[in-house]
Amino acid sequence: MSQYFSSSYEESREKFLALLDRVKTDYPTARVMSHSIGDDTIDIIIGEPAGSREAILFMTIGEHGIEGYAGAAVTHQFVETQLQHVRHESTGICLIHAVNPWGMKHFRRVNEHNVDLNRNYVIDRESLPRNVNKEYEVMRHLFVPDGVIDNYHEAREQIYSFLGSGIKLDGFDAMTEAKGMGQYQFPKGSITAASRTNRPPSS
């Protein structure tokens, strides 16, 4: 399995794009679509079935950027060892590399705006209730830093201390609700302790 892993976003992207030739073995008309987002790119391999499409298989990686390396490895292994078993006549495929390319490139869970994409899905913005995450409103001082964090290790110890105090004062359930739900009331609000830094941690 180790041969499927990459050490950088650029290496992972190169491997992903190279999968197109293998995909074309089963989906001759398969193609790559690329979407620029900032200085980075989301790449998509789409393969349509030979007959009428009854289903489509989606595989996405890197919504939490740092997790994209494991997702890319699984996608690579799937294409090489399992794609041949898909019903190509009726099932299309859509493989998406790095939903959060900035986070993957910088080994971060969040994107360049400090947003956790997995907590910010909006289907109908007009229907969003106000104050949807009341616990976050109370505890947001625990999750939002005052400025850029330069010393990652010092900041980590500080956030552990803050979280411990928050659990003691407000309870574990309240902390879990504040951290686990999305929130739309505060534009600059982060909802995960892991996203307190505004730039990649220093070594």
- Model pLDDT for residues 37-68, shown as the tens digit of each residue: 988 999 999 999 999 999 999 999 999 999 99
pLDDT per position as a tens digit, 79-126: 999 999 999 999 999 999 999 999 999 999 989 887 888 877 666 667
* pLDDT for the residue 78: 97
Structure tokens, 75? 């996608």
* Residue 77 clears pLDDT 90, i.e. is over it: yes
* pLDDT for the residue 35: 95
Quick check: helix, strand or coil at residue 39?
Answer: coil
Q: Is 111 exposed, middle or buried (0-12, 13-18, 19+ CB in 10 A)?
A: buried
Mean per-residue pLDDT, 127-151: 69
